[in-house]
Amino acid sequence: MGPAPEGSFAFQRVVNVSRVQEFRYQMNFASKRLLRWGAVLSALLLVAAACGGDQDSDAPATDAASEPDELSGSIEVSGSSTVEPITALVAERFNAAHPGVGISVEGPGTGDGFQRFCAGETDISDASRAIKQTEIDACAEAGVEWVELKVAFDGVSVLTSPDNAAVGCLDTGDLYALVGPESEGFGSWSDANDLAGELAAAGLGGSGAPYPDAPLVITAPGEESGTFDAFVELALEEITEERGQDEPTRVDYQASANDNVIVDNVSSNPTSFGWVGFAFYVENSDVLKAIEIDGGAGCVAPSIQSIADESYPLSRALYIYVSLNRVAENPALGPFVDSYLGDGFSSVAEAGYVNLPDDEIAAAKTAWDSAR
């Protein structure tokens, strides 16, 4: 489903989040147009009433134009496709209250989002990982000042088809054997058996072997994605360093920045493999199977509870980064962030992610109040 025509609505969805969410936002676009025209019509009626009332009355006429919604302008958000559904819901609600503010939310990936953000092109950068030092340096060089605000927790969900009964739980050594840099060229699950044996002998995992003798069809995020970075950091990095490898993963798999492509490919192949953010798994759990992950304390499935208590080994934080330069220039940006850190937190669970505990919500609000 494509984006709405440019300029047709105050709030534009730029890329897909999920089929269900796309439909919802498309339906909401029409209501937002009605809201905007309703506000304009109300203002015109008030003006007409003021001008057409009893001109002999000593009571001052009401100037409807003196009390319009005070916010106008535009807000540009780019970055993580994982955080995008949360920001889109916040933007939807904010836009309903402030129809004069145009809000664009797109999700090309965390890395691509930081490139635009540090070039001064966006107001907010959604991120499914913390900003890297190279990105901090790029922002500093361009004079972009920012504040980091944690907004939710997520778990990287490792996926296969529900038809793949042979695979139910993997440890990080198994993940390395299947998609690490030394698995280049493996066309079947069983091709990774020998490597898993080496890892097991070195105490690095690989307890899920032997793997089935079946095609290993991988579709997963590419390097522009914060979900890719999180998977590498949480699942592979320690073993990659121990094995003296330079590349973070094998490169011979289908990489996609579109989570819906990953979901479609994994669900349509009986011996598939991939990974996405937790919300995309939940949204499509009828056609996907989440592989449990053993981080050393037994097999744990991704769930709201296991992500919240961090017993799921591939849990991570989600962030927004706000340009303080743009806050000074854009009168709508501060109120939008206020909304995000207020009622906007209700969008976290609605989008399928895990809410921050109260103390971390308070910390985010304090960081924002101190920086603005």
Longest CA pairwise span in the chain (Å) = 97
Confidence grade of residue 1 (pLDDT, cut at 50, 70, 90): very low
Alpha carbon distances (Å) from 218 to 58, 109, 236, 286, 294:
77, 19, 16, 19, 20
What's residue 69's pLDDT?
A: 67
User: Which of the listed CATH numbers 3.30.70.2190, 3.40.640.10, 3.40.190.10, 1.20.120.1200 matches domain 156-315?
Assistant: 3.40.190.10
Q: What is the pLDDT of residues 141-167, one digit of tens each?
A: 999 999 999 999 999 999 999 999 999
pTM: 0.76
239: closest CA among 199, 298, 297?
Answer: 199
Element (H, E) at 259: helix 259-268
pLDDT > 80? residue 23: no
Which has the higher per-residue pLDDT, 49 or 275?
A: 275
Q: What is the DSSP string of 171-193?
A: EHHHHHHHHSGGGTT--BGGGGH
What average pLDDT is seen over the chain? Answer: 86
pLDDT > 80? residue 62: no
Confidence grade of residue 68 (pLDDT, cut at 50, 70, 90): low
By the 8 A CB rule, do 339 and 94 touch? yes
Task: Give the total residue count for the chain.
Answer: 372
What's residue 97's pLDDT?
A: 95
**Domain ranges for the chain:** 11-50+62-152+319-371, 156-315
* Average pLDDT score over residue span 111-126: 97
* Average pLDDT score over residue span 2-31: 36
Domain 11-50+62-152+319-371 identical in fold to domain 156-315: yes
Q: What is the pLDDT of residues 317-341, one digit of tens each?
A: 999 999 999 999 999 999 999 999 9
pLDDT > 80? residue 22: no
What's residue 17's pLDDT?
A: 35
Domain 11-50+62-152+319-371, CATH class in plain words? alpha beta
Return d(Cα 244, Cα 225) in angstroms, integer. Answer: 24
Q: What is the pLDDT of residues 209-243, one digit of tens each?
A: 999 999 999 999 999 999 999 999 999 999 999 99
